[in-house]
Structure 1
Amino acid sequence: MPMNMQPQPDFEMRGNRFQPLTWQAMTAEQQAMTRAVLDGKRGSMQGPYNVLLRSPEVGQLAQQFGAQTRFNSSLPLALNELAILMVARDWTAQFVWWAHRRIAEEAGLSTALIQAIATGQSAPEDLLPEVRVVHRFCSELLRHKQVSDATYAEAVSHFGERGVVDLMATMSYYTLVCMSLNVDGYPLPEGAHAELQTLT
């Protein structure tokens, strides 16, 4: 059946500067990207997709990259979510933090560590070694735009070179997500409240 003959998918989008697109207003390329997102594991158009649809070729590549980093990373879920939270905190990206804090908690990331990230405090001392090295790697890369030899070596010893690349990939994709949502001024869902304060 041709794409334009398929039933219209059921979805909701939100936006601010980028006004939410409707199915009828979309081009064929935008509709194809929307179907790809909805047919994947995310199954929702919440988040950056309303923004990324404005450049559907970029958006299609980005959503595929995002699906890989979120669902197929070689890193354990809790560590991948740790990286996402650290990027969200760095950008004060309220929706990303709101959405992924819950996933991180369910994956087993400690509440104390999540709270320390939220408030810009030092990490707790009792972290598992693999958690500490991801926290250190992300902290150095976000703050200094590079990592020390010791931090790199420790990351490779825990996760291999593939793990280091997967970690950077997650950070880079969620940087795009945070940029998109911050430029849009993306609204939180009804009833949700901003959980991050601006750090000085």
Structure 2
Amino acid sequence: MARLRRTPPHQLSPEARALYEKITSGPRGRFMVDPAGGLTGPFNAMLLSPPVGDPLQELGAAIRYRSSLTDRARELAILVVAGHQDSAFEQAAHEPIARDLGVTEEQLQTLRAGSPPALADPAEAAVVAVARALVAKGDLDDEEYAVLGERALFELTTLVGYYTTLALQLRVFRV
């Protein structure tokens, strides 16, 4: 059972309402609103503390829409974290995106099971391997560190940390 009530926008404080408007007006907004207007997923919890929730959602937007990782590589990495964290919400939110990007049902099943999927693109395989090492060990050995360039590695470690944070919040708040 969810621990947080989804608050309709007209019942939010002005600060939380401003954050609500920011989230719902962006590209993620149409997917994160329930029929009564409350935010779903991790965004509902962000309204509890707009001074923390706003930078957190901004980080997510940067990861999703402004990083150098390809869309497929990003979604594969998100699903590595979701599988490792057993985050049903993130799996449900990101598997359709991955499907639209050509990720197969077999590859999705493999990710759900915590194994590396067969990928034709070596760059995507490298992202998945590094993401798997990060969630398993929280660190990389020298060989794993050298697989990606430093910019991609910075963005990937940020992605893994962000989605791990969301998985924790989703679990604690029973979303």
Check whether TM > 0.5: yes
Give the TM-score, by structure 1 length: 0.78
Q: Counterparts of 2:47 and 2:112 in 1: how far apart (Å)?
A: 30
- Partner amino acid, structure 2, of 1:18: L
Q: Counterparts of 2:77 and 2:41 in 1: how far apart (Å)?
A: 18
- Partner amino acid, structure 2, of 1:153: A
Q: Counterparts of 2:151 and 2:116 in 1: how far apart (Å)?
A: 27
Structure 2 portions without partners, runs of 5+: 33-38
Give the TM-score, by structure 2 length: 0.88
Q: Write the mapping of 1:118-157 to structure 2, written as runs, cut at 5 A.
A: 118-124=112-118, 127-156=120-149
Q: Write the mapping of 1:1-40 to structure 2, written as runs, cut at 5 A.
A: 16-40=2-26
Structure 1 portions without partners, runs of 5+: 1-14, 187-200
**C-alpha RMSD of the superposition:** 1.6
Which protein has the bigger helix share? 2
| Structure 1 position 23, deviation (Å) | 2.1
Q: Counterparts of 2:9 and 2:137 in 1: how far apart (Å)?
A: 43
Identify if the C-alpha distance between structure 1 residues 73 and 122 changes in structure 2 by more than 3 Å, giving closer, same or farther.
closer
Higher Cα Rg, which structure:
1
Q: Counterparts of 2:67 and 2:144 in 1: how far apart (Å)?
A: 20
- Residue 24 of structure 1 aligns to a residue whose secondary structure is helix
| Structure 1 position 19, deviation (Å) | 1.0
How many aligned residue pairs are there?
167
- Partner amino acid, structure 1, of 2:167: C
The equivalent of 2:108 in structure 1 is 114
Q: Counterparts of 2:86 and 2:139 in 1: how far apart (Å)?
A: 21
Q: Write the mapping of 1:24-173 to structure 2, written as runs, cut at 5 A.
A: 24-43=10-29, 44=32, 45-124=39-118, 127-156=120-149, 161-173=150-162
String of CA shifts for 1:34-84, please: whole Å, max 9, x gaps: 011112111233321111111111111111111111111111000000111
The equivalent of 2:172 in structure 1 is 183
| Structure 1 position 27, deviation (Å) | 1.1
Q: Counterparts of 2:6 and 2:116 in 1: how far apart (Å)?
A: 39
Determine if contact 2:82/2:90 at 8 Å carries over to the other structure.
yes
